[in-house]
Structure 1
């Protein structure tokens, strides 16, 4: 950590962006600060504000920074870096990459359609929208109102002059103006596209006025068929408009943002107010919130959401407590026009903001209630397993066991826990099998079952609804015998054989008839495979550490005392290799030269992968 401490001393007192890297040299967090030094050092002074920050700090191995001219520039750069690297510990919109957008392509005679991927190809994107049904309805209205092409042909001047593309059915149904045959000029087509853009942005009255003027002009020229088409377009738009009163008589465009926060989740409701009417309500869930305050999460949302949408209204209503000027400058840079962040305190505007917050509170309560119901109600795989095994109650809590060894050395066992069909890794357990120096899966299984459930009974821990043993009838009978001896006769236990994946139940000679494609068998396989993965990972680590310990005995200058000193500081060689030579020497009291020789020897002769152990 000496290297990190020296770097922290060099952090400048200037605005900019800082990046934290972990032991794998991956970026795990990106932040911005008005004074980099104060902000970065705050992570390493005093107690962390929440458990998530504490875990993040424990993984920090390096820090980088980028100096900017202003805090606004730092905010813009922070946003770009978060989008590029998607750091693990940054707050982000839940499933933000799957939200639908409306895309208007950047090509001659542009097309308009729904997409879930944003590409840097010059196209214009509108969204993100959280209600895909609303987006599809909007697109249907657009295509009925504005005869834009839906084909994927590449239209250029040469293709149109040569008339290579024939007119399709859409033209004859009056859903397209026939740009492929040059029946509409590119200027007229682009004018129609601009109307579409204004319509998407919520300026419906402006669109209606333009269509009404064109209808009158067509009627004066006695182009009654075209005038009737404009009339029908006006009717479609008016029918689609939300039936609500004007909420503001100033007819200003604005976004109104309300937020509700719980311990692990935040819900955001955004009202799109256009021309004085609420035309849409979008809801967003923020994940990885930790114990951040409402104000901090609101800043994260403003940065994340408005970096993705091309249209930002002139006013944004929200309850931002500080740095309003900073975010006004940020939004202004994004929009290319002056944007104001406002917290109204009285009148209709304040009531609208309160309405958004109440909606967010209601949506958050619904989400929490849904999660509670989901956790209490058994999933489909759990229900299928209950039916397949004829259990009295659904196996909401399942514990799976596996044994791992090679030729009887370093025998270990694992216990994995699944709750309602999902792994609960915080309850996983590893076991070192004692007093057994030869391969004996039966004895190993007997020992781990006895140790695990004896402790459960002693600590009055929660017992599982089902115990899964990785093995056939032999391992199953041993586990059942131990459970009976402990007085756990009622605890259901089954075995899953590896070769044919047969399911065995105590008291039955033949395996259960569970179809190979059954969700129940899929869940059992998943638990068995997870137990095997967890056990074999632990076994490999113990084997590698043991081999490296024997290698230490062959290194000149590393005797029993120095070896004992090393392992009094580091629990394993794996942990030691995370530090550099100077740090190891400082902690163990060995000379840097001896440590350097030891590291070189380990890398040369150790079975461990050097990259996995870290670079010195």
Structure 2
């Protein structure tokens, strides 16, 4: 381990091997980094190894004068607490979760020959998203401008690549708008559009139009990012989930619905009746009116469902 002061070394050695969050403080007691781990002791020790793997760690470690921590029952709660604290405190060495105000939505416009689809920063009806990577979204929108009009004919989308965007009259614009709404609202239509793009890419490559083929390829990659963000956890989101996570002592129950933990409670001992009563109490609670697709909710929602996907299936129950 690299050199650290005696009190800090003692604190590191005394950290529990439990899930939780840790806060790195500088000499002025400013919180400069917040992290989480399933084992606080193991994770924190990695910051003080002789050869840190990450450049950020090399810069961070010499500034650490003290460490504070909070133990949680589960890794899920550690991840949610880390996210909440980073958003609130905004430590200088944290990058993830701090800038949700910069997340964007897609808005399909009414007649507008220059911008059939654009980004907006505030939630409103009939927007798609939110998306974290504004720059990548802008790249996709710029690429689509060279494909308009996109028209649905039978079971295929028809379009062609033009170096200069085509100026659409109102009728053509509205047909193009209908195609965009179908593509972004329906997984099947999105997949169908991607298949049409792939066919165009193969055709351009066969005709030795390699620059055009690369443009189609880049558009496909960008749209796959949008599609992943739009459909991620959609099936889980629509279900009410009872989760029973074993602890060192007892079990912790969670009821998750629409990206929120409605209720959580620890049981040292339990039976099926306890589970039924817990579910009844959770379902009787009124969910918060906050829109789950608001930008500030995106990170918490993704944490919950990404953690659920790592859990054994036998501790998760779908509630009808």
TM-score tier after normalising by the smaller chain length: 0.3 to 0.5
Q: TM-score, normalised by structure 2?
A: 0.41
- Greater Rg, structure 1 or structure 2? 1
- Please report the TM-score for the alignment, with normalisation by the length of structure 1: 0.24
